Amino acid sequence: MAEIILHHYPMSPFAEKVRIALGLKNLAWRSVEIPMIMPKPDLMPLTGGYRRTPVMQIGADIYCDTQIILRELQRRFPALPLTPAGHEGVAEALAYWADRTLFWPAVGVVMAVIGDQLPEEFHKDRAAFSGRPPDPARLKAMAPVARDQLYASLTHVERMLDDGRAFLLGGQPSLADVAVYNPVWFVLQRLGARTPPLTSLPGIVAWAERMGRFGHGQPTAMAAAEALDIAERAEPDAPAGVDESDPSGLKAGARVSVTPDDTGKVPVSGELVTLSATEIVLRRSDERVGTVAVHFPRAGFILAPAG
């Protein structure tokens, strides 16, 4: 099988969610470092416009968003399952909550402290990314709100750990753990454990230490050009196909676009080759990499016929 290639940068918390999952599964992978802000000229030929971090590549199959990246890792490497049997829905739902709700107050806590040390280009880029004007002073003013919201949300997780369990859903780590680890890691990494509200959440801090011990598996660096060459030489995997009873009524071969519904709302266009409740796959061509299959999760993405 082609190697796992992760396009990411070290300080990305969503990339850490995937890196720690690669550690849990003890996998070998190749690491391509991408810029923290646009432009990302060596990523665009692979994704067709999707700009968020991280992106996983396996040959000519490109996986956008950590939801689909983790599902694919689970499918290809089923040992040490990330979704414990009988608890798949709970693990997925907790992960979605962590990605879309818990993440933001954690960003608020960190940015209130480090925001004004970051360059103007970073703030401009993240303003375009989020659709909100750049405003480091507002980030500082919102610090108490972010702290309190993170406290309220993480207290639910602290309570889950109160009975002495090692991980959120029991004795083994799962998708729920790697997803909650993402924002907790971000605060710990940037500000340390003496940061409120972590000072009031000792169970979370101890759990995060346990999570961190899984490490990142075995990464080795790869140049971006090599990753593009690999995509160019490879053929995408055979598509799973379009579910005939999908409520959208879309059929295989339709020209469609896929756009994140929250941040980095850049549409990617192509030919629909797979559609299910959990996955959208487009086939598209690029002059640098030839034909690639770009995979997205269904949740959190807008699928529309392309004009």
Ligand X SMILES: N[C@@H](CCC(=O)N[C@@H](CS)C(=O)NCC(=O)O)C(=O)O
In the complex, least distance from residue 253 CB atom to ligand X, rounded to whole angstroms: 28
Q: Measure the CA–CA gap between 272 and 293, rounded to whole angstroms.
A: 10
Measured from the CB atom, the residue of 43 and 169 that comes closer to ligand X is 43
- What is the maximum alpha-carbon separation in the chain? 56
Q: Measure the CA–CA gap between 277 and 246, rounded to whole angstroms.
A: 8
Q: 279: which residues sit within 8 A by CB, 6+ positions away?
A: 68, 71, 240, 295, 296, 297, 298
Measured from the CB atom, the residue of 18 and 242 that comes closer to ligand X is 18
Q: What are the tokens at 297?
A: 């999760």
In the complex, least distance from residue 186 CB atom to ligand X, rounded to whole angstroms: 8
Residues that bind ligand X (CB under 6 A): 12-14, 36, 51-53, 65-67, 99, 129, 263-264
Contact status, residue 286 vs residue 45, Cβ threshold 8 Å: yes
Measured from the CB atom, the residue of 19 and 284 that comes closer to ligand X is 19
Contact status, residue 170 vs residue 84, Cβ threshold 8 Å: yes
In the complex, least distance from residue 225 CB atom to ligand X, rounded to whole angstroms: 20
Would you list the DSSP string of 190-230? HH-TTSTTGGG-HHHHHHHHHHHTTTT-EEEE--HHHHHHH
In the complex, least distance from residue 112 CB atom to ligand X, rounded to whole angstroms: 17
In the complex, least distance from residue 165 CB atom to ligand X, rounded to whole angstroms: 25
Measured from the CB atom, the residue of 21 and 222 that comes closer to ligand X is 21
Measured from the CB atom, the residue of 97 and 129 that comes closer to ligand X is 129
